[in-house]
Each structure stands twice: as structure tokens, then as C-alpha cells.
């Protein structure tokens, strides 16, 4: 296995595994938010704000993994 | 396919290199300034033209900032910085989607091989821009906190000798502040740069037709990233200016 192959593999595994956690996390955030809206439809606007914020936090971790994959592949 | 993680240099002013992202940020800044001048030139009570759009933007942003601070005085104090951050980031993001950005370039430099250097590149697709924004934001959060509750009370949040646990919490808070810089910069950079790479790859795979839904996605992501940056900055400012020692703040964001 030469360096180029390992680099490609490493980049693929980095982003592949790194996206599992945030995907599950954002799914759970969305599920709880939708359940809360279903319970109290009038509070939909107030629930939406923290939901977007928390989803951005969770997604940031996926972005960290993506940046590492990009660094491995292109630097 | 050439994808460069770092923004490519296109010119030099003296010994300072100018990258294509920096150039695009300048264009975004000029656009914002020209729009602001046009909107406030002959202001009428019933707005028309650019003033109408500007009033809509200012009113929406004021509502957004007020929803976090819940206090009009504080909102007006921190509004200029937060609105500027939002408008700068969203203009940079959307400008990076224009036709010509990333595709028009004139340098074919020979560094042992031929490289295509685009003249324009999305402003936030360069880690330097986002790092600068992140450092500026966190510095300003500290300064706002010190102005609002006093220097010693604010530093007392980080250097706390009341009990061993409080001391370690203070150290964790310091580390937390630095990690916010990293998280701010990488979140914005990663989203926008990954969007550019995605568009390039999809255009290569399925030209003309493939990128259309991804352009919708990128427009949405550009808006959301600006919104998230601004909302996080607001939340951090709010946390910095609340007086923890009085144990009055009930809603912790």
C-alpha cells in the first residue's frame, strides 16, 4: 500500500466515520423538537430557534471531521 | 480536478500577498457599502427602493437580536456589530455562488506543473477570513463583558479562588473560550469550502443539470451559516454580560 492509496483511504474513513455521530445527534434533536411542537403547536417559533442553534453545534463536529479529511487528502 | 485547500495568491502589494478570497471579500464589502449609501441617501418617511429593502433587513435583524437579549437598550448597543457580522458573512457566502467565481482565472502558473488559479473565490472559503472573524468575535465578547459588568467581576469568572472546583471550572472556561474560536472558524470554513468542493465535483460528474439542486442547498447553507454565527455570537455576548454572582439569571442559554 503506497502513500497515495493510504491517503485516499484515510480521508474516506475520516469523513465516513466522522459523520455517523453528528447525523444521529441531529436526528435526535429534530425528533425531540418536532415532538415538542406536536405537544404545543403555539410554541413552534420559540422551539425553532434553539433547535437550529443546537443542530449547528452538532453539525460543526461533522465539519471538523470533513476538514481533517480534506487536510489529509490535499496537504 | 484541482481543489486547493488554501486560497491562491493572485497579486502582491509590496510584500503582502493578496489571495483571491481576500479580493472577493473586498468586492463584498464594497457592495455592502454602496448598498448602504444608496439606501440612506434621500430618506423618506414612506420608504421606496433601496431604503425599503434596507428597512426590511434592519427590522428583521433587530427582531432576531432582540429575541435573544430581550432588552431594547442592550439590543441597540450590540446590534451594529452583530448585524455587520451577519451581512458580511451572508454576502460573502452568496457572492461565492455567482457565475464566474472559481471559474474565471487568468494565471496558468508553472510550478513544475500547470495550475489554474481562479481570480475570485468565496470569501469564507479561506480559513484566514473565518479565523479572523472568529478571533474578532471572541475578543469583542470579552471586551463587551468587561465593559458591561466590570473588569474584575468578568475576570473573576475565569480566575476563581473561592474553592478548588471553582478554580478548575475557571480553567475550563478559559479553554472553552479558545475552543470557541476554533469551532467558529472551522464551522464556517468547513461548510463553505465543502460546498464549493461539492459544487465542483457535481459539475464535473453531471454538467449543467446536476448542480441545480446543490445550488439551492448552498444558498440555504450560506444563509444558515451566517445566522448560526450571529446567533452564537449573540448567545456568547449574553452569557458574558450577565452577572453570574448575583444568581439572578434564570434562563441559561
Of A49, A53, A63, which has the smallest distance from its Cβ to B191's Cβ? A63
User: Cα–Cα–Cα angle for A74, B111, A12, nearest 5°?
Assistant: 10
**Exposed, middle or buried by CB within 10 Å (0-12, 13-18, 19+), for B209?**
exposed
Distance, CA of B6 to CA of B30 (rounded, Å): 24
Nearest Cα to Cα of residue B95 among B34, B4, B26: B26
Contact B125, B140 (CB under 8 A): no
Contact A52 B224 (CB under 8 A): yes
pTM of this prediction? 0.88
Q: Which residues of A touch B190 (CB under 8 A)?
A: 60, 63-64, 66-67
* Sites in chain A below the pLDDT cut of 50: none
SS3 B71: coil
ipTM tops 0.85: no
Q: Which residues of B touch A53 (CB under 8 A)?
A: 228, 231-232, 235
DSSP string for residues in chain A: --HHHHHHHHHHHHHHHHTHHHHHHHHHHHHHHHHHHHH-GGGHHHHHHHHHHHHHHHHHHHHHHHHHHHHHHH-
The pLDDT of residue A60 is 85
pLDDT of chain B along its 253 residues, tens only?
677 888 888 888 888 999 999 999 999 999 999 999 988 888 777 878 888 899 999 999 999 899 888 889 999 999 999 999 999 999 999 999 998 888 888 767 666 677 788 889 999 999 999 999 999 999 999 999 999 988 888 888 888 888 888 889 889 989 989 989 999 999 999 999 999 989 989 998 999 899 999 999 999 999 999 999 999 999 999 989 887 665 444 455 4
Contact A60 B189 (CB under 8 A): no
Contact B235 A66 (CB under 8 A): no
The pLDDT of residue B245 is 61
Class of domain A3-74: mainly alpha
* Residue partners of A68: CB distance under 8 A and separation at least 6: A14, A18
Is B180 an 8 Å CB contact of chain A? no
Nearest Cα to Cα of residue B239 among B130, B163, B154: B154
As a residue count, chain B comes to: 253
Contact B68, B234 (CB under 8 A): yes
Amino acid at each position: 500500500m503506497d502513500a497515495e492509496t493510504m491517503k485516499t483511504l484515510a480521508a474516506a474513513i475520516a469523513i465516513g466515520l466522522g459523520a455517523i455521530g453528528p447525523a444521529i445527534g441531529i436526528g435526535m434533536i429534530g425528533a425531540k423538537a418536532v415532538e415538542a411542537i406536536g405537544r404545543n403547536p403555539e410554541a413552534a417559533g420559540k422551539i425553532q430557534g434553539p433547535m437550529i442553534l443546537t443542530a449547528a453545534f452538532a453539525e460543526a463536529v461533522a465539519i471538523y471531521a470533513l476538514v481533517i479529511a480534506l487536510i489529509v487528502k490535499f496537504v | 480536478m484541482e481543489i486547493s485547500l488554501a486560497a491562491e495568491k493572485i497579486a502582491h502589494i509590496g510584500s503582502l500577498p493578496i489571495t483571491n478570497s481576500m479580493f472577493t471579500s473586498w468586492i463584498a464589502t464594497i457592495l455592502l457599502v454602496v448598498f448602504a449609501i444608496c439606501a440612506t441617501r434621500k430618506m423618506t418617511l414612506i420608504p421606496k427602493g433601496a431604503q425599503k429593502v434596507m428597512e426590511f433587513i434592519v427590522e428583521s435583524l433587530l427582531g432576531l437580536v432582540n429575541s435573544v437579549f430581550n432588552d431594547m437598550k442592550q439590543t441597540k448597543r450590540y446590534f451594529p456589530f452583530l448585524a455587520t457580522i451577519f451581512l458580511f458573512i451572508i454576502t460573502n457566502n452568496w457572492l461565492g455562488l455567482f457565475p464566474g467565481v472559481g471559474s474565471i482565472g487568468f494565471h496558468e502558473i508553472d510550478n513544475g506543473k500547470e495550475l489554474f488559479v481562479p481570480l475570485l473565490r468565496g470569501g469564507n472559503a479561506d480559513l484566514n477570513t473565518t479565523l479572523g472573524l472568529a478571533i474578532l468575535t471572541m475578543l469583542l465578547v470579552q471586551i463587551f463583558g468587561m465593559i458591561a459588568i466590570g473588569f474584575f467581576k468578568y475576570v473573576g469568572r475565569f480566575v476563581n479562588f473561592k474553592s478548588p472546583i471553582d478554580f478548575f471550572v475557571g480553567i475550563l472556561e478559559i479553554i472553552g473560550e479558545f475552543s470557541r474560536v476554533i469551532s467558529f472558524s472551522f464551522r464556517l470554513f468547513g461548510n463553505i469550502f465543502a460546498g464549493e468542493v461539492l459544487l465542483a465535483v457535481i459539475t464535473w460528474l453531471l454538467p449543467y443539470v446536476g448542480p441545480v439542486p446543490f445550488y439551492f442547498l448552498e444558498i440555504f447553507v450560506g444563509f444558515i451559516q451566517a445566522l448560526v454565527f450571529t446567533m452564537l455570537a449573540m448567545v456568547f455576548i449574553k452569557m458574558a454580560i450577565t452577572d453570574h454572582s448575583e444568581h439572578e439569571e434564570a434562563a441559561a442559554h
